Structure 1
Amino acid sequence: MVDDTLLESGNQKIEWARNHMPVLSIIRDGFASEKPLKGCRIAMALHVEAKTAVLVETLASGGAEIAITGCNPLSTQDDVAAALDTRDNVSCYAKNDVSKDEYYEAIDRVLDIEPNIIVDDGADIIHKIHTERQNLLPNVIGGCEETTTGVHRLMSMSENNALKIPTIAVNDALTKFLFDNRYGTGQSTWDAINRTTNLLVAGKDVVVAGYGWCGKGVAMYAAGLGANVIVTEVNPVRALEARMDGYRVMTMDEAAELGDIFVTTTGNVSVLTRDHFKLMKDGVILANSGHFNVEMNLEELESMAHSIRKVKSNIKEYNLKTHRINVIADQQTVNLAAGDGHPAEVMDMSFSNQALCVRHLVDNDLDIDVHAVPPEIDTYIAELKLKVLGIEIDELTTEQEKYMREWEHGT
């Protein structure tokens, strides 16, 4: 039997998030009256916390049967998972702090629903159904992918002719990445680092690896906290953009000696390695804000360490004799493994995209490919968000619309 205190805590968190996600509430009301997902079975792997629960409630209100698990071993909030499992037509298999085997066992249980739709964050369900549960593929209408890393995996699958279902790159919607990836990741990453370390950021040298939209947000919030920001990049255009935004730009080999706090946001493997660890200052702090825990080569760090110990909740110290390196949350996605994830107001738009893209998959017979979010969905969500914020904007006049369609006008 589930602890009533756990359920109460989970329900309180979900209610708080729901009250701060007005766009998704509007969509949920429409789903509840129209039942566009009636008879649909949805398999989900997302960070199971309060905002995710509001998305699940929205899809269930549309008539769907849902099975959900986590997409990261440390990001599940057990009280929210317990509360979500009590919802009608919802089965939740997510638990916090699971082993790799337990993580994939839960994904298998989710797939046992024999889904018509997949909602993924990191593409682990989609990968699993393509490699080990291929008998389920004929039932699948399509999938939606939440994050940059997952979209990269799907694009690779498509390019190698391995993708067998239509998918929508929800991450690439303007009302997702411009806000969620930048403002959501930026704020929640520093919230997690600050609440975990309780150390000052102002005046410190902060190294941000990667200057995509997540890196932009992390750098922006670090600067706002008073840090001296250093950016490392492999993309010349992004590196130049970071410099024009006022940050120092250099290689990681150079930055390794300077940084007090390192945050990885690249989505790639071995961004920090043995060569960097040996150059770092005593007491440096390492955190990962990418989706998978591969950006720091912790196997190399462990092999270099004279001793390893837990020095604070969610902080592990690697003593290299000459200096100590502190890693937050075993380099799992820091804003969720050591915090509460993105603010509800920004996930309001991200998960509205998810809900409407699920409906788009049900209503349309899409080709097998990685599809962009339809522009009309992006525009509709932006319009709703402005409306609930009480913001009005101008409209083009007939003369202006005519001018924009013509090509004859010159100087």
Structure 2
Amino acid sequence: MTDITLDWASRHMPRVARAIANLPDLSAIRLSMSMHLDMKMLPLVYGLCRRGASLYITTCNPATVRDDVVAHMRASGANVAAWKDMPAEAWSDAIAGGIAFGPTHLSEMGADYTHYLMETGTALPDVRCGLEATGSGINRLKGKLPPWPIFNWDDVPVKEGLHNRHMVGLTTWNAFFSRTLLSLHEKNVLVVGYGSVGQGLAASARAFGGTVMVAEIDPGRLLQARYDGWQTGSVAELAPRADVIVTGTGGHHVLPFSVIERLRDGCFLLNSGHRIDEIELEPLLALPCEAPVPYVTSHRLASGRTVHLLANGAMANLTAGEGDSLNSFDITLAVMAEGIGHIVRDGEVAKAGVHLLPDPIWGRACADFG
């Protein structure tokens, strides 16, 4: 990565620049962050450092780390404990390090810091407020909560409707096309999960020529999928008919190995959800395999059939691709910057618990220029 690349990103993310310019002086703020460490996060990190914040950063997914991005973040003044494909023990140590940093505020994608505190019984730091970006993180927060307010920006319309609903599906299939050199034409595509991510995956798959099926365990979402015109059913029922299966739920082992064993020869498996274990990987990765092209591993099942795994089951759009476009992520990241501004100001006086990021806060990120 070059300075020219960073300049190019900054030019096409004007909403982020505006949100950062509106931040207060952050010299008294110690912010522990967990997030995807890709190039598009750099304008925010640089901006927070320029506003005086002390930052500790680790990843929310070791598979999506870009080591050159880590180097640039460190050069900006941030403390970064992450590297590409860091092992689970090192990642756990990095999360503990974010607590030992003594944060005044948390900004998370997956609630890793908060979950660590609640599960380990570690002495609570003097955190005043937190910010959470993902549905999987919000689900983890439904158990025991810390004694400070946490603002959920995953469910604000601009993130759920734009990033989750439109960009994840588009960029997932772009990554699939570029890495496999295949299209979705004449292929049965099974989308597992019909939240906003799954809805986008299904619509994009049809737009790109796939014949789409949807598996969903929530009765309301299943009915919605039927009303949207998709063939629906359970994973166990639909998976053996699929040529491509994509998960997008944030759940654990939503594509179990017992189902993988019954798949068609040559079926592709990929994940677009936040968790790396949406596909049951351990028994699959233990099988004989080869890597026919970069980012694709072919695994031989006991039946003699072969299944192809993209990006080792990690988030396909960010691991095998570049994720969101700069102009669309400009809105998403601007919401995050506005959210950080909220948690260091008015958000601190909110009651403990999980709150939706207020409309006026995220609405500023959507305002047009000119």
Query: What is the CA distance between 1:111 and its match in structure 2?
Result: 3.1
Please give the TM-score of this superposition, normalised by the length of structure 2.
0.93
1:127 aligns with 2:115: yes
Structure label with greater radius of gyration: 1
Partners of 2:241 and 2:66 in 1: how far apart? 35
1:148 aligns with 2:135: yes
Partners of 1:11 and 1:246 in 2: how far apart? 47
Partners of 1:278 and 1:140 in 2: how far apart? 47
Please give the TM-score of this superposition, normalised by the length of structure 1.
0.84
2:282 alignment counterpart: 299
2:83 alignment counterpart: 95
Partners of 1:171 and 1:252 in 2: how far apart? 26
2:297 alignment counterpart: 316
Partners of 1:146 and 1:72 in 2: how far apart? 13
Please tell me whether the aligned partners of residues 19 and 365 of structure 2 are also in contact (alpha carbons under 8 angstroms): no
Please tell me whether the aligned partners of residues 318 and 326 of structure 1 are also in contact (alpha carbons under 8 angstroms): yes
Please tell me whether the aligned partners of residues 329 and 338 of structure 1 are also in contact (alpha carbons under 8 angstroms): yes
Counterparts of 1:250-289 in structure 2, within 5 Å, are 250-289=233-272
Q: Which moved more, 1:106-115 or 1:334-343?
A: 106-115
Partner of residue 373 from structure 1, selected from 357, 362, 367: 357
Kindly provide the amino acid, as one letter, of the partner of residue 344 in structure 1. Answer: L
Kindly provide the amino acid, as one letter, of the partner of residue 180 in structure 1. Answer: H
Kindly provide the amino acid, as one letter, of the partner of residue 225 in structure 1. Answer: F
Partners of 1:347 and 1:117 in 2: how far apart? 23
Report the identity percentage. Answer: 30
Please tell me whether the aligned partners of residues 43 and 117 of structure 1 are also in contact (alpha carbons under 8 angstroms): yes
2:16 alignment counterpart: 24
Please tell me whether the aligned partners of residues 102 and 125 of structure 2 are also in contact (alpha carbons under 8 angstroms): no
Over the aligned positions, Cα root-mean-square deviation in angstroms equals 1.8
Please tell me whether the aligned partners of residues 173 and 205 of structure 2 are also in contact (alpha carbons under 8 angstroms): yes
Counterparts of 1:3-18 in structure 2, within 5 Å, are 9-18=1-10
Query: What is the CA distance between 1:29 and its match in structure 2?
Result: 2.2
Rate the CA distance shift 1:146–1:354 in 2: closer, same or farther, 3 A: same
Q: Which moved more, 1:269-278 or 1:174-183?
A: 269-278
Query: What is the CA distance between 1:339 and its match in structure 2?
Result: 1.3
1:4 alignment counterpart: none
Rate the CA distance shift 1:250–1:131 in 2: closer, same or farther, 3 A: closer
Counterparts of 1:22-61 in structure 2, within 5 Å, are 22-31=14-23, 34-35=24-25, 37-61=26-50
Partners of 1:64 and 1:293 in 2: how far apart? 31
Kindly provide the amino acid, as one letter, of the partner of residue 84 in structure 2. Answer: N
1:216 aligns with 2:192: no
User: Aligned with 2:182: secondary structure?
Assistant: coil
Partners of 1:147 and 1:168 in 2: how far apart? 11
User: Aligned with 2:298: secondary structure?
Assistant: strand
1:84 alignment counterpart: 73
1:352 aligns with 2:334: yes
Work out the number of aligned pairs and report it: 367
Q: Deviations over 1:284-318 (max 9, x none)?
A: 11001111122212234356x4x223332222221
* Structure 2 spans left out of the alignment, 5+ residues: none
1:5 alignment counterpart: none
Kindly provide the amino acid, as one letter, of the partner of residue 308 in structure 1. Answer: C
